[in-house]
């Protein structure tokens, strides 16, 4: 091919930001953020903040078949809601834009042509049938197919590099070959080898890998150029070495080596002009000055291909940080299609963003010590690459709920009220109810904000409760004793001039002392009478104060009437099991 004018490339090189740590989060706009994607974004963010560098957002949207309308806005909202402020991105700008791959489409053709000119790539004119001919029998289906003939734009990309992509996608679409494998899926085969001994990984799902045979690589450059000029459909393939091994250093896994015989001449540019994932990823990372790349272990086998591209262009390589997968259990990855929660699901169920981030940070990273609660600012100060683990992490929803409760309890009262109020209003419509008083009762009893509405379902309307609640062994109460306690308490409460929690407490405390009984023998029947529940946020005194005078007295009178009617059905001591009687 003719000698190319490289001035445009040199001009771009001069504009690449230098002299600082630069990381990126590069999701595809295909759905909500899953936990693994959030962790990738968090680690990339923390690396940049640790070094005083820049954190970038790049939207990788060239796979139009999986594009979901509105998903880009979801990405913006998710990162901002989680506190992961990006310094450069599609909606904030920056010196390395555009930050949406579809807006960079022309770049990829230019760089693919440059690789052809340098001899590190070549046009391939094989049809899908020719690429999958008997000589290539056993190659992955469609691998090597010309451009857009049935292959998604991100062909060659493992599951999702930190994106919400595969959520809800067909079973293994875009996933690594061994998805669902045991817990160390994607990790180097001989993990645990000597620190100085390179870890060998396989770039193919079978040891006898046979992919595209590279027949077009032997075409004379003049013939290839003529066929391109004549308009014959073609893709551009990377020219891989046939001997030796390709190695690289990973921050987590150390030295990684792949036998070059396993590297197929993979497609870089498809016939429709769209790049494959592997190619666009390298070009964009370089032009955006990315210095550290955080991604999952499923990319370990692809990284030698990326590095060969860096070498072909004469570009510096970024530091690689491959993180082990987040698992549902010992053998299965988290997956939305299997019912595992996305970040948005966790928010909808009442988790705090701060708690989610703190928990997700520990899925593959250890700060040392026993501390489990971290604010984002504390994570920025504590995070180190040395703390990253090679072992897969198990997502424990119960542990996250516990941690969320710790974060809720640590909130100042006014902030807890602000966060709890929307959930309180799902159950309480009465305008005369003091929501701050309710929030005070809920503050140290709540693990998830979504637990609030069921705790308050008695406020607006007393439920049709079972009188069996008036039998409670621990409080040593029976329907008969409860009836007496309510009859004794009612006139005292009716006589109160100030309906405050303190006044109610003093009146009932005096009654307990007068009767010579335990507090529960008076307070238990009051709790049941005003709430119709055995478990409430606060006891009888607090509930009466919240419900206010008229409502509380009316409910106490109803409890007395129902218990009195129950007594009419049998003599005291002869009532038998309350379950023998109808609800009254």
Catalytic position from the list 270, 333, 336, 484: 336
Helix H, strand E, coil C: the string for 423-440 is HHHHHCCCCCCCHHHHHH
First to last CA, the chain: 94
Active site residue 473: no
C-alpha 162/C-alpha 79 separation (Å) is: 13
C-alpha 237/C-alpha 207 separation (Å) is: 23
C-alpha 337/C-alpha 167 separation (Å) is: 6
> Phi/psi class of residue 255: alpha, beta or left (left: φ > 0; alpha: ψ in -120 to 50)?
beta
E strands present in 156-226? 199-200
DSSP reduced 3-state for 212: coil
Q: Are 483 and 563 in contact (CB under 8 A)?
A: yes
Instruction: Using CB atoms within 10 Å of the CB of residue 120, give its burial: 0 to 12 exposed, 13 to 18 middle, 19+ buried.
Output: middle
For residue 338, give the nearest of 180, 157, 114 by alpha carbon. 180
Query: And the tokens for 575?
Result: 């009532």
C-alpha 463/C-alpha 583 separation (Å) is: 12
C-alpha 383/C-alpha 58 separation (Å) is: 23
Query: CA dihedral in degrees (146, 152, 158, 159; nearest 10)?
Result: -170
CA contacts within 13 A on the Cβ side of 330: 0
List active site positions.
336
């Amino acid at each position: 091919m003719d000698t190319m004018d490289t001035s445009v490339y040199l001009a771009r090189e001069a504009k690449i930001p230098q002299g600082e740590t630069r990381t990126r989060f590069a999701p595809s706009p295909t759905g909500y953020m899953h936990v693994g994607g959030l962790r990738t974004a968090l680690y990339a963010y923390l690396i940049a903040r640790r070094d005083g560098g820049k954190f970038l957002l790049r939207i990788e949207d060239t796979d139009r078949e999986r594009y979901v309308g509105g998903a880009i806005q979801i990405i913006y909202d998710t990162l901002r809601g989680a506190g992961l402020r990006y310094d450069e991105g599609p909606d904030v700008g920056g010196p390395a834009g555009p930050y949406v791959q579809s807006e960079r489409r022309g770049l990829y053709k230019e760089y693919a042509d440059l690789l052809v000119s340098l001899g590190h790539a070549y046009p391939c004119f094989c049809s899908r049938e020719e690429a999958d001919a008997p000589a290539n029998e056993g190659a992955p289906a469609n691998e090597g197919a010309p451009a857009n003939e049935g292959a998604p734009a991100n062909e060659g990309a493992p599951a999702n590099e930190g994106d919400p992509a595969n959520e809800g996608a067909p079973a293994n679409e875009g996933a690594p070959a061994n998805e669902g494998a045991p817990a160390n899926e994607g990790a180097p085969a001989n993990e645990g080898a000597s620190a100085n001994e390179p870890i060998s990984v396989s770039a193919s799902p079978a040891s006898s890998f046979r992919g595209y045979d590279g027949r077009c690589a032997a075409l004379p450059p003049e013939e290839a150029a003529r066929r391109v000029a004549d308009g014959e459909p073609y893709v551009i393939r990377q020219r891989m070495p046939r001997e030796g091994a390709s190695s690289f250093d990973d921050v987590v896994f150390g030295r990684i080596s792949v036998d070059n015989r396993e590297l197929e001449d993979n497609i870089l540019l498809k016939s429709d002009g769209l790049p494959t994932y592997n190619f666009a990823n390298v070009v964009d990372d370089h032009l955006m000055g990315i210095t550290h790349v955080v991604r999952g272990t499923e990319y370990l086998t692809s990284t030698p291909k990326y590095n060969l591209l860096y070498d072909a262009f004469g570009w510096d390589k970024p530091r690689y940080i491959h993180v082990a997968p987040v698992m549902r259990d010992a053998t299965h990855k988290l997956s939305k299609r299997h019912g595992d929660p996305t970040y948005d699901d966790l928010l909808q169920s009442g988790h705090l963003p701060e708690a989610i981030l703190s928990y997700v940070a520990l899925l593959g990273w250890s700060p040392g010590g026993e501390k489990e609660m971290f604010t984002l600012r504390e994570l920025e100060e504590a995070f180190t690459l040395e703390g990253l683990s090679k072992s897969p992490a198990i997502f424990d929803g119960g542990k996250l709920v516990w941690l969320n409760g710790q974060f809720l309890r640590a909130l100042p009262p006014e902030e807890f009220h602000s966060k709890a109020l929307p959930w309180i209003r799902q159950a309480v419509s009465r305008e005369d109810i003091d929501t701050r008083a309710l929030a005070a009762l809920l503050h140290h009893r709540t693990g998830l904000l979504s637990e609030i509405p069921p705790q308050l379902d008695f406020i607006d309307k007393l439920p049709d409760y079972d009188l069996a609640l008036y039998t409670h062994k621990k409080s040593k109460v029976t329907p008969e004793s409860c009836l007496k306690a309510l009859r004794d308490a009612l006139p005292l409460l009716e006589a109160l001039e100030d309906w405050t929690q303190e006044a109610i407490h003093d009146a009932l405390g005096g009654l307990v002392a007068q009767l010579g009984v335990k507090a529960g023998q008076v307070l238990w029947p009051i709790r049941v009478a005003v709430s119709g529940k055995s478990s409430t946020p606060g006891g009888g005194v607090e509930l009466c104060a919240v419900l206010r005078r008229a409502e509380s007295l009316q409910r106490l009178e109803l409890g007395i009437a129902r218990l009195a009617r129950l007594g009419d059905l049998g003599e005291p001591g002869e009532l038998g099991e309350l379950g023998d009687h109808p609800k009254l």
